[in-house]
């Protein structure tokens, strides 16, 4: 993640299945459409996507956290000269 600050997803909740539920049911997701829509509009990337991670707290509660990780980009071409730095070429 980009920083250590957790961003919890508003409007999205996970619940374990009822104890009498069949084995193929693994959980239930509840969505508050207005809250989730606002959250998505606030945190989506330039292509309209956002990624959330389903995590388990130390107390056993499941929650959704916004994935803020972004790959580091390396400049391989000097934009002033148009030359490629050979040390940055991966092959």
Task: Give the mean pLDDT of 14-24.
Answer: 96
In 3-state terms, what secondary structure has residue 28?
A: strand
Q: 63 to each of 32, 71, 90, how far by Cα in Å?
A: 14, 24, 38
Q: Are 11 and 66 in contact (CB under 8 A)?
A: no
Q: List, for residues 57-81, the tens digit of each pLDDT value.
A: 999 999 999 999 888 776 655 566 6
CA distance 72 to 85: 17
Q: In the chain, where are the structural domains located? A: 12-88
* Banded pLDDT at 1 (limits 50, 70, 90): very low
Question: In terms of pTM, does the model score above 0.75?
Answer: no
């Amino acid at each position: 993640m980009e920083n250590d600050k957790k961003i919890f997803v508003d409007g999205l909740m996970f619940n374990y299945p009822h104890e009498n539920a069949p084995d193929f049911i693994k959980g239930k997701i509840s969505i508050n459409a207005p809250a989730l829509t606002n959250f998505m509009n606030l945190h989506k990337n330039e292509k309209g996507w956002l990624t959330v991670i389903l995590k388990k707290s130390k107390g056993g509660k499941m929650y959704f956290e916004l994935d803020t990780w972004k790959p580091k980009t390396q400049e391989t071409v000097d934009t002033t000269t148009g030359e490629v730095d050979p040390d940055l070429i991966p092959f």
